[in-house]
Every structure is written in C-alpha cells, then in structure tokens.
Structure 1
Amino acid sequence: MDWLLLFFLHPVSLYQGAAFPFALLFNSLCLMDSFSTRARYLFLLAGGGALALAALRAYAVLVFVPALCTAVLLSSLGPHQVHRLTFSFQMSWQTLCHLGLHYTEYYLQEPPSVRFCLTLSSLMLLTQRVTSLSLDICEGKVEAASGGVQSRSTLSEHLCKALPYLSYLLSFPALLGGSLCSFQRFQARIQGSSSLCREPSLRALSWRGVQILGLECLKVALGRMVRAGAGLDDCQRLECVYVMWSTAGLFKLTYYSQWILDDCLLQAAGFGSECAQWPGEEGYVPDADIWTLETTHRIALFTRTWNQSTARWLRRLIFQQSRGWPLLQTFAFSAWWHGLHPGQVFGFLCWAVMVEADYLIHTFARVFIRSWPTRLLYRALTWAHTQLIIAYIMLAVELRSPSSLWLLCGSYSSVFPALYCVLLILLAKRKRKRN
C-alpha cells in the first residue's frame, strides 16, 4: 500500500493552501483604482513564478521553458498557424517529460521524485491553457500578439504585448490545479474596473471548507478500512470487487477534496463564478459536481461531469475537430495527455468502449422499459453497474503499472466491463439489422 501513501500525501494541497492568502490579497488590490491592469498581470505572473520555484524547485524550468516558447510563438505566428505549431510543441515537450518518468519507473525501477510528478501535473494544466488560448486565436476570439505589433517594434513593446499571455499561462491560482479558465474570462477579470470586482463570499468559502473537512474525514475512515483488508494481490474472488470499489473510493474522495480546494483558490482570486465575463464567453465550470457523479446511472453523464472543465476542453480540442471515430480519438488523446502508461492506455480505451455501450443500452431501455417499478429497478441496477465500471477504470488508470493491470484484469472485477462489452456487440448487431 505504499502507492496509497504517495498519492494521499501529495503536497499539492499544501502549496495551494499557502497560495490562498496571496489570492485574497490580489482580489483586495483589484478593488483599488491605483492597482493598474499591468500591475495585475505582473502580480499573477510573479506569484506563479514564486509558487513554481517553491513547489517544483529546479524542475520549474520544465514549466517556464514551454510557457516562454509559447509566448514567442504567439508573438511571431499568424492566427492560422499558431494552434498547430503551439499544440505540436507543447505536446512534444510534455511527452518528453513523461518519457523521463517512464524511464525512471520502468527502466531504473526507482520511485519518481514527488516534485517531478508535481511538475508533470503542472505541465498538463499548462497544455490545457496553451491549446485553449491558441484555439481562441485561431477562431478569432482573441487577437494574436503578432497582429498588433509591427516587425520594427522594440523588444519592450513585444514584451508588453506578450505580458497578458505569460500571466495567463503562469498565473499562480491555476499553476498547480483548478478549473480551466479561458483567456477571455481571465482578461475580463483583469481588465474589469474596481466597481465590477467583488470580494469573495465568506459564506461560500466557509461552505467549501466544511466540504473539504468532511471529505478528508471520510477519506481517513475509508483509508483505514482499505489498509486493514486485503489488496489486489491477495484478494479472493468477490472480495476483489470490494477491494476495487473501496480503493477507487479513496481516489475519488481525494480528487473531490482537491478540486474543491482548487475552486476555493480561484474564487478567492476572483476567477470563480462571480467573475464578470465578456459576451459569448463560456461561464465558469467547477470540476467537482459530487452529487451528479455519485447518483448518475449513466456512464456517459459521469464522463461529461468528471473533471468538467477538462471534459469540455477535450470535447473542443479533439471531439469537435475529429472527422471519424471522435469518441475513440478523444479517449486516445486523453491517454496520451496523461502519459501513456500501460494502465492509462487500457483504462481510457476501456472507458471509450463503455461510453459507446452506455449509449446503446440506454437507448434500447427507453424503448422497451415502460412501467415505473421496472424503470426504478433498472436505474438501481445500472447505477450500481456504472459505479463498479468507473471504479474498474479508475484503478486501471491510477495504478498504471503492467503488474497491477494484470492483477485487475484477472480478478472478478472484470466481469462488469465484460458484460457491457457483450451488450455492446449484441445491440450493435441489432441496430445494424434494423438499419
């Protein structure tokens, strides 16, 4: 169970908590008319640099380099080229860093540095902001820096034009976590007058604090139960299903707690749901919708709700751009973005198949299940099945290694995704015959 300790003692929460007072300070300064727009950009940029150095130490260079290179590309490329080149550069850089993790874990057989893992997490979030910004420029939602600065402009003018982009990419409230904030929303918050800025609601922040405390208490209780019982390597038959469900529950509680903490930091800095936005700009979407995630009987709805801002980003970046097999391409890219560990490749491809099966199963059920007692029984069974399939996928993705994946696939837990696979084949044949 050493991997559990590594996962749950992750220092992201520590650094996010340390950044909380600075987020409140930034929001307070925005209420002052003397705090200019440029000063706001510089405050967020300097805070991001300081947080990166404190959390990542020497590995911070791996985050600074792609951010600076992206700013250079944005300042020198036209709108039609910027997305393709920035996407290629950022994903190549991130993949090289992930390969370094593969080398450490699988070739050297050594545990990776916690700071290096933090760096990879920050790089993944940076990739979201880079590609979101480049898509906005490509689609004409944001003016490219190269379009407003002549080729003979001085270096200081180029830097002033690129400052909003650098501040967005390295902003401290979003450096280590948080819902994806579009550049339009970020710019609207920074350029908003002091009369539009609001103090964060103390009641809302207190409620989120209570939620975090409750989730942490649940996590401690469930962690004791997991550590006291058997593991995947020594469980027996149906006991493996309980081990899978309880271990996945620990991962889910950790994610929920971290997402709410990240949301608190964004709210404290003024980038939350109360932030003013420009016309046509998508609103703020928190990553954690615990009620929907824990009560839905639809795998497809769980998928859209899990880490909502990332799901919306993947839909825009891959799903809507794909010409064929968009669902498979989206999950394949997600596996690439996460690092292409064996468990991640298997888990995300399995997830794609489960979503496809979910669509067919529920379409069939809507036609043939009429009475409310049958519908109630159907919802109860599909809810339990959905939670068990999600637990199976989560363990495959989080445990990552080939040995853990082999243990999971050889356990009784594989019955649940296998059943959906069989139903997918049967219903797909039925649909083809009807067509």
Structure 2
Amino acid sequence: MDWLPLFFLHPVSLYQGAAFPFALLFNYLCTMDSFSTRARHLFLLAGGGALAVAAMRSYALLVFIPALCTVVLITSLSPQRVHRPTFFFQMSWQTLCHLGLHYTEYYLQEAPSTRFCITLSSLMLLTQRVTSLSLDIWEGKVGASSGGGRSRSSLSEHLGKALPYFSYLLFFPALLGGPLWSFQRFQARVQGSSSLSPRCSCWALSWRGLQILGLECTKVFMRGVLSAGVGLTDCQRLECIYVVWATAGLFKLTYYSHWMLDDTLLHAAGFGSESGQGPGEEGYVPDADIWTLETTHRISLFTRKWNQSTARWLRRLVFQQSRVWPLLQTFAFSAWWHGLHPGQVFGFLCWAVMVEADYLIHTFADLFIRSQPMRLLYRILTWAHTQLIMAYIMLAVEARSLSSLWVLCHSYNSVFPVVYCILLFLLVKRKCKFN
C-alpha cells in the first residue's frame, strides 16, 4: 500500500538540516549592531530563495510567483478589500498545482516527482502565511503599505516597503516546515535590537537533537516490526486492528520528528518560543505536543493539539468566519487545502463527525458517570477508542489510492468510527427530547 508522509518528509528533513548553519549564522549576525533591519530581511529572503531552488529546482517558480502576486495585491488594494482576492488567488493557485498532482497520479498512473511534492508542501505553508497576513491587514492588526496605485514614490521606496512582506512569505527557516508565525511576531523579531534578540542556546539545541534522535530510533524499530509482519491487505480480522494502529504509530513518529526538526531550525535562527511576542498576543505554538496527543481520551483535544499552529489557523480562517456548520466547513476546507485526494475527503469528513460525536459523548458522560472507578474505566476505554479512531482517520487521509481506502474501510477497524456514529445518532435524538 502507498502512503503519503514517508514519500516527501525525509527529503524535506535533509534540506532543513542543511539550512542549520545559515540559521545559526543569521542568529549570530543579529547580535551585531551593524546588521541592519533591511540586511536581516534580505538575508532571510535570499536564504529562502536559495533553499527553494536547492530543494525544488525549476518548481520553485510555483512558490515565487504566488508570493510576488500576493505582495502586489497587498500593496495595491485597500485593507478592507485585501483579504478576499488574496485568499481566492492563493487557494486557486494551490488547487491548480494539486490538480497537476492528481493528473500525474490518477490519469498518467505515474509516481510524482519528489521535488514537486516538496513544492506542494511549501505552497501549503505559503498559503498559511499569505492568509494570516491578509487577515491581519483586514482586521487592522497590521498597517498595509497600500497606496491605491497612485503613489509617486520611487521604485526603490516601493521595494523597500514590499521587502518585509517578501521576507515574511519566503524566509528560509519556515519555507519547508515549521509552525505558523504571525507577521507581527516576525517583524518584532527582525526589528528587535541585539540586546533583545534571543541567543541560540547550545543546551536547548542539544536537547532537541536528542529528542529527534530518539524519535528516529523508535521509527526505525517500528518500521522493522511492520516490515516483519503482514500488511493491511494480508491481515486477518482482529489482526488488522494491530496493523492499522502500528502503521499510524509510524506515521505519527515521522510527523513528530519532522515537526521537532522544524522547531529546532526556527530556534537556531533566533525565532524561539520567547521571541517577538507582544502584549496580549498568543504565544509561540509548536506543532507537536506529543504527551497530550498520546494520552488524551478526547478526539476534540487531539484535534486541537495535532499540528497546533495549523489547527489555530483553520479556526481563525474558517471556523470563526462560518455561521452555518462551522465544524463541517472547517474540515471540508482542510480537505481542500490538503489537495482533495479521495482518502482526504473521506478522512476529514469522518474526522468532523467524530469530533461532533466526541463533544456529545463526553457531555453526557460527565452528567451520568459519578463514581471514581467508573470514571477511570470510562477514561481508559475512551482513550483506547480515541487512539484507534485517529489511527483509522490518519491512514484514510494518507491513502494514495482508492484501492488502499477500500481495503481500510472493509477492515475491522471501521467498527470504531461506526460505534461513535451510532452514539452520535442516539445522543442527538436524546438531546432533542430533553430540549
């Protein structure tokens, strides 16, 4: 069976690792008073361009073009009008690129280029930064340098105003991965004086490196266990539950390691958890909260903690702007943003239903389960059910073909989401009676 994450995350990790010396150099240069704000922006932009060309080759144009068009839109439209056209242009561009992947995989029946997959991953991250910036301008959090196209400023002045936007959209520590940084925090970090710039902690980097090494060793062990056993197409009945759980565990380890590497690269460049945070602003959000993800018994909490910065971005961009079925719209948009592969459409819609069921199940459980032993038993059972449902959804989302999705849906693992669907139906009826 073919799955997505192991296809491109390993090459991305190699390029992220190669960017570490430049991140350390940038952090060191920021301690010098002679390293001006404009020089910092140029360093980050040049590093992003070089990293894009090294990782994507000619496909890098697919990232540079929307970044350029976004800056043109931001600097030419009024703040009240900037968000909608910017959003639709960026999503249209990304969708066309995803359709190219669909054409290669499903029509030509060919394996897509690794560099093209890296480009799509970078485009998805660019979409986060583009829409976050346009929302900030629309909401008045960021003052846009728009002049309606009638400004008589020189070309150099226009480029000087546009440079922070280009630098933010293409800065190299976040080009191929990493949690979403707001434009305000990015600017605060770049403009900060040398006395306020966080110095790279050798101990912190070493500790992160040890964690990544531990995750990689565990991943090698899990891959060996899986390769020695049967796959999902060959497993029998209850054996398929173990296969899906173990395969999802390998995927999670891959993502945890990748997210931690991205976080370490940002930290090495000085974009640490404490940098650039203003009063009243949400703090730095790392993508991986491994402890919570592996111990929670609530699907809703797992959803908020899985790829945390993306979850917050989706909440702000879609959930808070939707008046009808906000949860369904959020997961539907997430499927669109990921590329609308069959497994993604099925997986994200199933995820939305599971979150809705999770809210009702735990609400009723809090009302009717009183004794401590029963609460402990309930927590253990719901923890196991949560982990198995999320393993099922993860394999559905990562499926590369309809045949893989078909095999998954016809395994015993489908019992777990079906149980939550039945409970959702019964609890909705009961809730209506109470109302």
**Counterpart in 1 of 2:245?**
245
Q: Following TM superposition, by how much is the alpha carbon of 1:148 offset from its aligned partner in structure 2, in angstroms? A: 10
CA-to-aligned-CA distance 1:341-373 (integer Å, 9 cap, x gap):
000000000000000000000000001111111
**Counterpart in 2 of 1:7?**
7
The amino acid across from 2:347 in the alignment is: G
**Counterpart in 2 of 1:390?**
390
Distance verdict in 2 for CA 1:147–1:8, change over 3 Å: closer
Q: Following TM superposition, by how much is the alpha carbon of 1:198 offset from its aligned partner in structure 2, in angstroms? A: 2.0
CA distance in 2, matches of 1:128, 1:23: 22
**Counterpart in 1 of 2:190?**
190
Greater alpha carbon shift after TM alignment, 134-143 vs 279-288: 279-288
CA distance in 1, matches of 2:419, 2:400: 23
Does 1:286 pair with 2:286? yes
**Counterpart in 1 of 2:305?**
305
Q: In percent, how many aligned pairs have the same letter?
A: 81
CA distance in 1, matches of 2:249, 2:147: 49
What is the TM-score when the length of structure 1 is the normalising length? 0.98
CA distance in 2, matches of 1:269, 1:62: 25
Q: 1:196–1:276: 8 Å Cα contact kept in structure 2?
A: no
Q: 1:8–1:254: 8 Å Cα contact kept in structure 2?
A: no
Aligned partner of residue 146 in structure 1, secondary structure:
coil
Q: Following TM superposition, by how much is the alpha carbon of 1:156 offset from its aligned partner in structure 2, in angstroms? A: 1.6
CA distance in 1, matches of 2:159, 2:283: 29
Distance verdict in 2 for CA 1:412–1:94, change over 3 Å: same
Alignment of 1:1-400 (within 5 A): 3=3, 6-7=6-7, 10-147=10-147, 151-400=151-400
CA distance in 2, matches of 1:376, 1:9: 38
Distance verdict in 2 for CA 1:378–1:5, change over 3 Å: closer
Aligned partner of residue 282 in structure 2, secondary structure:
coil
CA distance in 2, matches of 1:274, 1:283: 8
Q: Following TM superposition, by how much is the alpha carbon of 1:88 offset from its aligned partner in structure 2, in angstroms? A: 0.3
CA distance in 2, matches of 1:302, 1:225: 26
Runs of 4+ in 1 over 3 A off after TM superposition: 1-6, 147-150
Distance verdict in 2 for CA 1:4–1:424, change over 3 Å: closer
Q: 1:256–1:290: 8 Å Cα contact kept in structure 2?
A: yes
CA distance in 2, matches of 1:252, 1:47: 29
CA distance in 2, matches of 1:98, 1:293: 29
Q: Following TM superposition, by how much is the alpha carbon of 1:282 offset from its aligned partner in structure 2, in angstroms? A: 2.1
Of structures 1 and 2, the one scoring higher in RCO (CA 8 A, sep 6+) is 2
Aligned partner of residue 198 in structure 2, secondary structure:
coil
Q: Following TM superposition, by how much is the alpha carbon of 1:277 offset from its aligned partner in structure 2, in angstroms? A: 2.1
CA distance in 2, matches of 1:322, 1:430: 27
CA distance in 1, matches of 2:279, 2:307: 25
The amino acid across from 2:332 in the alignment is: A
Q: Following TM superposition, by how much is the alpha carbon of 1:281 offset from its aligned partner in structure 2, in angstroms? A: 2.7
Aligned partner of residue 285 in structure 1, secondary structure:
coil
CA-to-aligned-CA distance 1:265-287 (integer Å, 9 cap, x gap):
01111112121322333211000
Does 1:430 pair with 2:430? yes
Q: How many residues align?
A: 435
CA distance in 2, matches of 1:296, 1:359: 14
The amino acid across from 1:186 in the alignment is: F
Greater alpha carbon shift after TM alignment, 281-290 vs 353-362: 281-290
Q: Following TM superposition, by how much is the alpha carbon of 1:249 offset from its aligned partner in structure 2, in angstroms? A: 0.5
CA distance in 2, matches of 1:66, 1:120: 12
Aligned partner of residue 112 in structure 2, secondary structure:
coil
Q: Following TM superposition, by how much is the alpha carbon of 1:327 offset from its aligned partner in structure 2, in angstroms? A: 0.2
Greater alpha carbon shift after TM alignment, 194-203 vs 273-282: 273-282
Aligned partner of residue 222 in structure 1, secondary structure:
helix
CA distance in 1, matches of 2:8, 2:376: 37
CA-to-aligned-CA distance 1:24-65 (integer Å, 9 cap, x gap):
110110000000000000000000000000000010000000
Aligned partner of residue 81 in structure 2, secondary structure:
helix
Q: Following TM superposition, by how much is the alpha carbon of 1:9 offset from its aligned partner in structure 2, in angstroms? A: 6.7
The amino acid across from 2:415 in the alignment is: V
CA distance in 2, matches of 1:285, 1:196: 20
Q: Following TM superposition, by how much is the alpha carbon of 1:229 offset from its aligned partner in structure 2, in angstroms? A: 1.1
The amino acid across from 1:277 in the alignment is: Q
CA distance in 2, matches of 1:74, 1:154: 18
Considering only aligned residues, what root-mean-square deviation do their CA atoms show, in Å? 1.3
Q: 1:287–1:309: 8 Å Cα contact kept in structure 2?
A: yes
The amino acid across from 1:67 in the alignment is: A
Runs of 5+ consecutive residues of structure 2 not aligned to the other structure: none
Aligned partner of residue 79 in structure 1, secondary structure:
coil
Q: Following TM superposition, by how much is the alpha carbon of 1:7 offset from its aligned partner in structure 2, in angstroms? A: 2.8
The amino acid across from 2:131 in the alignment is: T
Runs of 5+ consecutive residues of structure 1 not aligned to the other structure: none
